[in-house]
A and B are shown apart, each in its own frame.
Chain A
Amino acid sequence: MMILRSLRRQPMHGYALVQHIKQRSNDLLQVEEGSLYPALQRMLRDNLVKAEWEISASNRKVRTYRITPAGVKHLEHEVSSFEQMLKGINLVLSPADS
């Protein structure tokens, strides 16, 4: 979800994606950088993102990921169901008005 959200803002390659997520989360989410790649592979398989080799601004050959229309749709669906879940959790956790 985070990956798709980031890619929706702008296409990026793997390293940039990691840096982006780290920054955005204010380093709260400490995950292995590598674990991003299996996730990207699954998204590639499910046609949620596309990847192409390009030359980056820093003049490196990088593989840039772009979100596909299917990815956008998936993201919207995920976000809404995540919000639903969050709402549910909030309701349960909020002090009972007894």
Chain B
Amino acid sequence: MQWLKQLFTRRQIYSDLSDEIQQHLAEKIAALVADGMSPKEAAYTARREFGNVTGIEESGREAWTWPRAESILSDVKFAIRKLKKSPGFATTAVLTLALGIGANVVVSSVLNGLILRPLDVPEPASLFQVVHGKDFFNTQSYRDYLDYRDRDPSFSGMLAYGFMRAGLRAGKTAVQGWGHAVSGNYFDVLGVQPAFGHFFHAADEHGPASAPYIVLSYDFWRLHFDSNPHVLGETIELNQHPFTVIGVARKDFHGTEVFFVADYWIPLVNESQVTGFEDLPYRDHYAFTVLGRLKPGVTPQQATHSLNALAAQMAKEDPKDDGLTALVRKPGPAGDEQDPTKKALLGILLLAILVLLASCANLASIFAARATDRGGELAIRLAIGASRWMILRQLLTEAVIVSIVGAAVGSFFARLLLGALSQLQIYGDVPTHFMILPDARVYLAALALAIASGILFGLLPARQVWKTDVVQAIKTGCLETESFQRFALRDVLLAVQIVVCTLLVTASLVSVRGLILALHVPLAFQPEQVTLAQADLRTVGYSGEQALPVQKRLLDAAASIPGVSAAAVSDGVPFLGGAGWFVYRWGTTEFLPSHRAFGAYSFLVTPNYLNAAGTRLLAGRDFTWHDDGGSPRVAIVNQTFAHKLYGDKPPVGQRFALWATAKYEVIGVVEDGKYGSVNEDPQPAMFIPLAQGVGEVMSTSATILIRSRLPQDQIAAALRQKLAAIEPGAPFTLRSWADAIDLSMITTRAAVTALGVMGLLAAMLAVTGVFGMASYSVSKRMKEQGIRMALGAQPVDILRSTLHRPLLLLIGGSCLGLLGGVLTSSLWAHLVSFATPRDPLVLAGVLFVMTLLGFMATWVPARRALGIDPARLLRE
């Protein structure tokens, strides 16, 4: 630490020194004058006897400087000069490293932003999520939440929130907004403060619909209320129910979700007023995410244990909690072992590291080649007295400079790409944010990684310097005097590169093949030529019972558009809405968790829906308008549903129940399809007449489907006009069904793109690697080949002798890489469904690509080898 102190006190030391010298001179002059000299003469003598004041000051200062630093500085200057002199080498090395670093910065930033980053709340480390232990529900029922909150001692506070969408109206402003319905203690447990106004508290809740308050998010307030500070106390209508604005959240508070940005928060006790869903009374209705702050000293394991004891107690008190278990884990995808995004990102990160490895291998061979080329210079420096350590230090400095510049360039382009990515809005009108811009930690890690790989791989050629025989090197101008036949470091590097490249090419091809297969998965509906218009009629004030006539009017209007071949209304369609219910066998009297048969997708539809959607009816009949509230309840189920509940018995005429007042008879069976995502396993699904509703629940959601051969924009315009004539205030979203499904596959596409890009990068690196090796081999043996040609060697012999090593490496490396790909195929399964490296088409594709790469990389060197003119070569 001494030197550090000196660094800061140096200025003081220097001024003390010159003061002291001045004082010395003054004293000397005084003494000389006292001896009888004239002042002028005395000053002159004093100076003469003292010596060169500036020089002495300087050499005095030198005692304090840091000779190592100065010499490093000169090393750096020299390295920069050297690199400038060989821009080709410098650019290649920097770009190679930048590729690897850039890929890693992008992937790790996304991973950091989406998965690892804690929530933007004070003390995120003590905040945990309470999920179900055994079944895979991440959400809780409100009644269970209350018990957990009030009866468990492990938490200092526990909050619950659900998602909601509503139409907001204030004065002339009318918008759709997504928000959270939250428990009264939400803000207090999180420990956040409002930008202005105040938040609501637990004390504001006094039973259902008792707290009509709303807190706006900063961005929502800025966007839709023009940053008006007088918004406090104003009334905003949510689906036409009045709420009072009491506060605006701070700019950096976006709620407690990773992707989702809340536009507003209302007390959970007022939610059903707005949405019409009775989310609160049922113990088996899991609608809320529950987060809690653990008391200091309590571990998540202890809390899990304690909650499970409580859950067992609760199950005794209420059979609806039968089998309830709890697990305390980190909130969001970070704590979720099964989270698909997390798995995919970790997989892609692994591949990014492979790309870095490939680029490091490339870097090492570039450095090795350079050290060889500089052999003469290095040998002369050794000969005139530079120590090996000094030469090494010089090479090291160069490697570090290349690393730093490479890291900077890579990070810069990664930052540009991430900037573009973070602007994506992939969930339609749901407000999302991707906080994936790299933070200081990512940049630092990138720099450390770059320097480490630069030093490690830049120093591989150092072995050459160490073993140099100076005399020999000066004679040949080349460091590497051993025979080229020996198995060299370069061969290992190249082999590594080819293996990694093959792995990445395999990954790209697997993912592309997976995407192609996914696009051709039978959906059991034909989304092409179907236009959808979606809105919740509750946002314009209709309740469940009032909605049906409106839905019928909308349907009639849509069906009357010329060119429409089929039209229907439903509460949602596959990939866009729909609900899920637990199914019980007929004859169940107690609807308890342990009696559930399974959960099934449910769609409430009008007659002719199957026709409009293009779903095939396999047995039974479609609904008619006579299947309404007054007639027996009926349902159409899919094959999986039928098989799970009735086995091989013919399903038509069988019955099932959802709860005591929702019992159905099966009147038709449809083919199995996809309902939530293309890569889901076969799921049970049921279709129920919109006019009957599920039990007492009538839907206010309206999804109007029209099938038409006319161009989509034309039909959309006509539809919009018709709908506006009937319900001018309803905020209909129009889109083509096919587009919406494409959008739902954006993560798959992103993964495919990422893998494709990495495959391409790796391929580029491998081509340069093989190319470099082949050219080197050709130029090294130019003379020898010339002689052989002169002695009558055939072109094929020349090719064999110059290219057999790179080709051998290429073939061996490819086989190894392919083997690795096949052996790790279970890993790929996290990234892509449908395809594995075992797929023969993929295997063939990889072999083809590698052959092509090999051909590309060796073409030019081969031409050069064949173009050798023995006569000219020998004359030289």
Contacts and interface: CB of A to CB of B under 8 A. Distances in A.
Given A44-B63, A62-B23, A63-B20, A38 B28 contact: no
Chain A: interface secondary structure? helix
Contact of B21 (A37, A42, A61): A37
B50 A41 contact: no
A18 B367 CA distance: 57
Interface in B312-347: none
B24 A33 contact: yes
Contact of B61 (A34, A40, A41): A41
Given A15-B24, A15-B27, A63-B20, A41 B64 contact: yes
Contacts of B16: 51, 53, 63
B53 interface: yes
A61 B20 CA distance: 9
A11 interface: no
B17 interface: yes
Given A15-B27, A41-B61, A42-B63, A33 B51 contact: yes
Interface string B12-45: 0100110111011011100000000000000000
Size bracket, chain B contacts: 20 to 34
Interface string B748-770: 00000000000000000000000
Contacts of B63: 38, 41-42, 44-45
B309 to A, nearest CB: 66
A41 B51 contact: no
Interface in B789-826: none
A34 B27 contact: no
Interface in A1-31: 13-15, 18
Contact of A34 (B6, B13, B50): B50
A34 B23 contact: no
A32 B19 CA distance: 18
B49 A61 contact: no
Contact of B51 (A35, A53, A61): A35
Most buried by A among B28, B49, B60, B62: B60
A33 B20 contact: no
Given A15-B28, A32-B50, A34-B51, A60 B64 contact: no
A54 to B, nearest CB: 12
Contacts of B23: 13-15, 60-63
Interface in A25-75: 32-35, 37-38, 40-42, 44-45, 51, 53, 58, 60-63
A60 B30 CA distance: 11
A18 B23 CA distance: 13
A34 B64 contact: no
Contacts of B51: 32-35
A15 B59 CA distance: 18
Nearest to B2: A47
Interface in B49-85: 49-53, 56-57, 59-64
B20 A38 contact: no
A6 B50 CA distance: 20
Nearest to A42: B63
A51 B21 CA distance: 14
A60 to B, nearest CB: 6
A62 B26 CA distance: 11
Contacts of B64: 41, 45
Nearest to B20: A63
A40 B64 CA distance: 12
Contacts of B62: 38
A33 B27 CA distance: 13
Contacts of B13: 41, 44
B17 A37 contact: yes
Nearest to B56: A34
Contacts of B53: 34
A1 B522 CA distance: 95
Most buried by A among B23, B24, B52, B59: B24
B11 to A, nearest CB: 14
B56 A37 contact: yes
A62 B53 CA distance: 18
A15 B21 CA distance: 9
Nearest to A62: B23
Nearest to A14: B24
Contacts of A41: 13, 17, 60-61, 63-64
B469 to A, nearest CB: 40
Nearest to B58: A38
B28 A33 contact: yes
A37 B20 contact: yes
A32 B27 contact: no
B60 A33 contact: no
B255 to A, nearest CB: 59
Contacts of B27: 15, 58, 60, 62
A65 to B, nearest CB: 10
B518 to A, nearest CB: 71
Contacts of B57: 37
Given A14-B24, A41-B17, A60-B27, A33 B61 contact: no
Nearest to A19: B31
Contacts of A32: 49-51, 56
B876 to A, nearest CB: 59
Nearest to B19: A63
A37 B21 CA distance: 8
Contacts of B56: 32, 34-35, 37-38
Contacts of B6: 45
Nearest to B14: A41
Nearest to B21: A37
Contacts of A34: 21, 50-53, 56
A9 B59 CA distance: 27
Contacts of B26: 60
Most buried by A among B13, B21, B50, B63: B63
A40 B62 CA distance: 12
Contacts of A14: 20-21, 23-24
B24 to A, nearest CB: 5
A89 B6 CA distance: 40
Contacts of A63: 16, 19-20, 23
Nearest to B16: A63
A51 B16 CA distance: 10
Nearest to A46: B63
Most buried by B among A34, A35, A53, A60: A34
Contacts of A33: 24, 28, 49-51
Contact of A38 (B24, B49, B50, B59): B59
Contacts of A51: 16
Nearest to B57: A37
Nearest to B62: A38
B629 to A, nearest CB: 97
Interface in B395-445: none
30 contacts: A13-B20, A13-B23, A14-B20, A14-B21, A14-B24, A32-B49, A32-B51, A33-B28, A33-B50, A34-B50, A34-B56, A35-B51, A35-B56, A37-B56, A37-B57, A37-B60, A38-B62, A38-B63, A41-B13, A41-B17, A41-B60, A41-B63, A44-B63, A45-B63, A45-B64, A53-B16, A60-B27, A62-B23, A63-B20, A63-B23
Interface of A: 13-15, 18, 32-35, 37-38, 40-42, 44-45, 51, 53, 58, 60-63
Interface of B: 6, 13, 16-17, 19-21, 23-24, 26-28, 49-53, 56-57, 59-64
Given A33-B49, A34-B56, A42-B63, 13 more contacts: A14-B20, A15-B24, A33-B24, A34-B21, A34-B51, A37-B21, A37-B60, A38-B62, A45-B6, A45-B63, A60-B26, A63-B19, A63-B23
Closest 3 CB pairs of A and B: A32-B51, A34-B51, A34-B56
